[in-house]
C-alpha cells in the first residue's frame, strides 16, 4: 500500500499540534490545521495533471490545510485566527475528498482601539 493510500487514515497526525500541526480558531471553534506562511513556504508546486512537468508557482500567500469535516460550512470572507493573527479566507481549494486548502489574507480591517 502506498503512502498516499494511508494518508487518509493518518491525517490527524499531520494536523495535530502534538505532531506537525497547530490550532486555529475558525467559526468560533478550535480546529487542527497545517499553517504555511510566506516565510515557511515561498513556492508550492502544483500537482494537477494540466501543469507542466516541472511544476509552477501556485501561491506565495499564507494558507492552511484542514480536514473538510472539521469546517464543512467554511466560505470566502470567513475569519481564521492562527498564531495570534486574523486572516480572511480568499480562496477555498479542495485538494482531496478529505482535505481543504484555505488561501488567506491578513485582515487589515481590524478596529482601532479608542
Q: Looking at residue 15, which CATH number applies to its domain?
A: 2.40.10
Counting the structural domains of the chain, the total is 1
Higher pLDDT, 10 or 111: 10
Higher pLDDT, 58 or 33: 33
Entry pTM: 0.73
Question: Does 114 fall in a domain?
Answer: no
Strand 79-82, strand 22-26: pairing: antiparallel
Mean pLDDT calculated for residue range 72-94: 94
Question: Does 59 fall in a domain?
Answer: yes
Note the pLDDT of residue 46: 46
Mean pLDDT calculated for residue range 41-61: 50
Question: Does 22 fall in a domain?
Answer: yes
Question: Does 27 fall in a domain?
Answer: yes
**Residue 52: helix, strand or coil by DSSP?**
coil
Question: Does 112 fall in a domain?
Answer: no
Note the pLDDT of residue 95: 75
pLDDT greater than 70 at residue 5: no
Domain that holds residue 42: 3-106
Amino acid at each position: 500500500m502506498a503512502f498516499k493510500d494511508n494518508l487518509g487514515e493518518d491525517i490527524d497526525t499531520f494536523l495535530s499540534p502534538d505532531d506537525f500541526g497547530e490550532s486555529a480558531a475558525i467559526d468560533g471553534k478550535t480546529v487542527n490545521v497545517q499553517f504555511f506562511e510566506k516565510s515557511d513556504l515561498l513556492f508550492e508546486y502544483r500537482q494537477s495533471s494540466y501543469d507542466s512537468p516541472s511544476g509552477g508557482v501556485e501561491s506565495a500567500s499564507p494558507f492552511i490545510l484542514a480536514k473538510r469535516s472539521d469546517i464543512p460550512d467554511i466560505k470566502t470572507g470567513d475569519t481564521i485566527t492562527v498564531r495570534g493573527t486574523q486572516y480572511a479566507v480568499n480562496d477555498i481549494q479542495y485538494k482531496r475528498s478529505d482535505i481543504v486548502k484555505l488561501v488567506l489574507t491578513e485582515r487589515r480591517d481590524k478596529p482601532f482601539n479608542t
